[in-house]
């Protein structure tokens, strides 16, 4: 059984099935800033290794291919096969693809390839900026940059997201960064304080642009985009292409190549999806309790919107007599 929350109605989003009873979000470590401090990225690297997998045809540099191989990927996903060569050719992209399609690597691999060449101008400002709707997604993207870039020396990646203490963020920004992964609100805040120099920016990525609009970041996005170089390349990713998204994309992209990839997630016919409307939190919690007490329910996963509500719910359920295990 699975169900979806809505933004407006106090709908019950109690999802059950499979594994542990827990609410989960991505990792919460605030920042990652690997490798040594140098304003200009690594020197040119050797050309790609001999053909050994479907990734070899994409035109990526050897250290990136080696990192991909080490992750265990053997073939590019559909969005990677189409987006990577087009991005490497310098095109702006308008990509509709879902989470789970491999979209992160589809933009991160070309971003890393860009960093195999030094920038013409030395400086501390980022060359790649990835905007994400949530800090959790920002952390995932930061981790992907580190994973795929681990064989490239001197690539500095960091995230600028809300909730992170300013002194830490400010210190890291001073050191300099190649790939900046940020949520719009905090980024704009830091830009307005003069702590981020985006004059060297070469590649802008919007990840889950539709969610950014849904979350009310339209004005922040426009303010950020007004302040970054027009000469940049832009890769625009969105699960949906509704009119607001197309308008934003139209304002941002130059002669973009459109790439539409079917949802990679197959429909699981054995999963029943139901939506329950609840009057208020108390009602929602009683409904959840009722669902979880079903004697045939041996294991359940409950998804929540935030890490905090995951913790609170796990604690409530624990007090109601359910075993507690929170996965992050
Ligand atoms: P994403 O859509 O970027 O969130 O990626 C979804 C998942 O697919 C992540 O766990 C990736 O590590 C994984 N992934 C990305 N590319 C590939 C690939 N070519 N082969 C296998 N798994 C992949």
In three-state form (DSSP H/G/I as H, E/B as E, the rest C), the secondary structure along 56-91 is HHHCCCHHHHHHHHHHCCCCCCHHHHHHHHHHHCCC
Q: Could you tell me if 180 and 298 lie in one domain?
A: no
The preferred substitution site among 67, 75, 77, 263 for testing ligand 1, maximizing ligand atoms within 8 Å of CB, is 77
Maximum average pLDDT range among 37-41, 238-242, 255-259? 255-259
Element (H, E) at 174: helix 166-175
* 54 or 307: which leads in pLDDT: 54
pLDDT score of 103 more than 90? yes
- The closest of 42, 70, 46 to 152, measured between CA atoms, is 42
Q: Quick one: average pLDDT of 307-312?
A: 85
Q: What is the pTM of this model?
A: 0.71
pLDDT score of 17 more than 80? no
How many domains would you assign to the chain? 2
* 164 or 81: which leads in pLDDT: 81
Q: Which atom of ligand 1 approaches the CA of 76 most closely? A: 19
- Residue-range definition of the domain harbouring residue 102: 54-260
> Is residue 102 within 6 Å of ligand 1 at its C-beta?
yes
State residue 20's pLDDT score. Answer: 29
Among 239, 260, 281, which residue terminates a domain? 260
Q: Could you tell me if 184 and 289 lie in one domain?
A: no
State residue 261's pLDDT score. Answer: 87
Q: Which residue has the tokens 């050191």?
A: 175
CATH number at residue 108: 3.40.50.300
User: What spacing in Å lies between the alpha carbon of 191 and ligand 1's midpoint?
Assistant: 32
25 assigned to some structural domain: no
110 assigned to some structural domain: yes
Q: Could you tell me if 220 and 92 lie in one domain?
A: yes
Q: Could you tell me if 74 and 137 lie in one domain?
A: yes
- The DSSP output letter for 204 is E
Q: Could you tell me if 100 and 121 lie in one domain?
A: yes
From the centroid of its chain, how far is CA 226? Answer: 22
Return the biggest CA–CA distance within the chain: 65
What are the Cα distances from residue 285, in Å, to 187, 231, 302, 322, 328? 36, 51, 12, 13, 22
> Is residue 105 within 6 Å of ligand 1 at its C-beta?
yes
The preferred substitution site among 55, 58, 72, 105 for testing ligand 1, maximizing ligand atoms within 8 Å of CB, is 105
203 assigned to some structural domain: yes
> Is residue 100 within 6 Å of ligand 1 at its C-beta?
yes
Q: Could you tell me if 304 and 217 lie in one domain?
A: no
For the stretch 203-223, pLDDT in tens is: 999 999 999 999 999 999 999
* 83 or 267: which leads in pLDDT: 83
* 45 or 197: which leads in pLDDT: 197
Q: What is the mean pLDDT of the chain?
A: 83
> Cα–Cα–Cα angle for 108, 114, 118, nearest 5°?
140
- The closest of 264, 261, 27 to 137, measured between CA atoms, is 27
Q: Could you tell me if 248 and 289 lie in one domain?
A: no
Q: Which residue has the tokens 């106090």?
A: 10
Q: Could you tell me if 65 and 151 lie in one domain?
A: yes
């Amino acid at each position: 059984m699975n169900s979806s929350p809505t933004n407006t109605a106090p709908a019950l989003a109690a999802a059950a099935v499979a594994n542990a009873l827990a609410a989960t979000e991505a990792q919460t470590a605030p920042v990652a800033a690997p490798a040594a401090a140098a304003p200009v990225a690594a020197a040119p690297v050797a050309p790609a290794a001999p053909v050994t997998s479907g990734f070899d045809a994409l035109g990526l540099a050897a250290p990136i291919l080696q990192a991909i191989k080490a992750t265990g990927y053997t073939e590019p996903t559909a969005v990677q096969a189409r987006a990577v060569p087009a991005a490497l050719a310098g095109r702006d992209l308008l990509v509709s693809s879902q989470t789970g399609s491999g979209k992160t690597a589809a933009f991160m691999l070309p971003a890393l390839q860009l960093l195999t060449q030094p920038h013409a101008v030395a400086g501390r400002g980022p060359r790649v900026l990835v905007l994400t709707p949530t800090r959790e997604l920002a952390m995932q993207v930061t981790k992907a940059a580190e994973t795929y870039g681990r064989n490239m020396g001197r690539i500095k990646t960091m995230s600028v997201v809300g909730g992170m203490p300013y002194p830490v963020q400010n210190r890291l920004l001073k050191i300099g960064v190649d790939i900046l992964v940020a949520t719009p609100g905090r980024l704009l805040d830091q830009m307005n304080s003069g702590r981020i120099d985006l004059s060297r920016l070469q590649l802008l990525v919007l990840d889950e642009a539709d969610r950014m609009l849904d979350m009310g970041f339209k004005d922040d996005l426009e303010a950020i985009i007004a302040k970054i170089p027009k000469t940049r390349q832009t890769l625009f990713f969105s699960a949906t292409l509704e009119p607001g998204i197309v308008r934003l994309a139209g304002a941002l992209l130059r002669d973009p190549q459109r790439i539409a990839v079917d949802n990679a997630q197959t429909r699981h016919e054995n999963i029943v999806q139901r939506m329950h409307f609840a009057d208020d939190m108390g009602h929602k919690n009683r409904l959840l309790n009722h669902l979880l007490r079903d004697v045939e329910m041996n294991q359940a996963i409950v998804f929540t919107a935030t890490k905090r509500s995951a913790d609170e719910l796990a604690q409530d359920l624990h007090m109601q007599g359910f075993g507690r295990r929170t996965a992050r």
